[in-house]
């Protein structure tokens, strides 16, 4: 996995530190690879199965894919878009909690 150092913001101790924080945000926005690596790692660890992993990577456009709509994902997996939304919501809650 990529070095996660850039994902740690500089401390905001004094008001003058805001400039350093803004620089950090700009650098992070320019290189999304560490964020994608982190999300893929989390999905690999917390996804219950390959189907759930596929649904999440399609929905959020991870792993080099374009973001897919709920309908596109539902058509691919043979479920309704509402069911896809429910699966995504449940999965995201589990990953972030």
Q: Find the angle CA(27)-CA(33)-CA(39) to the nearest 5 degrees.
A: 115
Distance CA 9, CA 40 (A): 21
Higher per-residue pLDDT: 50 or 46: 50
Residue 22 is encoded by which pair of tokens? 């803004």
* Segment 59-73, tens digit of pLDDT: 878 777 788 999 999
Q: What pLDDT is stored for residue 7 in this prediction?
A: 56
Q: What is the pTM of this model?
A: 0.59
Quote the pLDDT of residue 2. Answer: 45
Q: Show Cβ contacts of residue 3 under 8 Å, excluding neighbours closer than 6 positions.
A: 34
Domains of the chain (ranges, CATH numbers)? 33-96 (1.10.10.10)
Q: Tokens for 28?
A: 């992070």
DSSP SS3 for 2 = coil
């Amino acid at each position: 996995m990529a070095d996660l150092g850039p994902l740690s913001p500089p401390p905001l101790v004094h008001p003058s530190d805001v400039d350093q924080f803004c620089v950090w945000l700009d650098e992070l926005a320019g290189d999304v690879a560490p964020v994608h690596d982190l999300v893929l790692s989390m999905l690999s660890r917390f996804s219950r199965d390959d189907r759930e992993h596929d649904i999440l990577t399609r929905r959020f456009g991870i792993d080099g894919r374009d973001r897919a709509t709920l309908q596109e994902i539902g058509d691919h997996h043979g479920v309704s878009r509402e069911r896809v939304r429910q699966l995504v919501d449940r999965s995201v809650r589990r990953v972030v909690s």
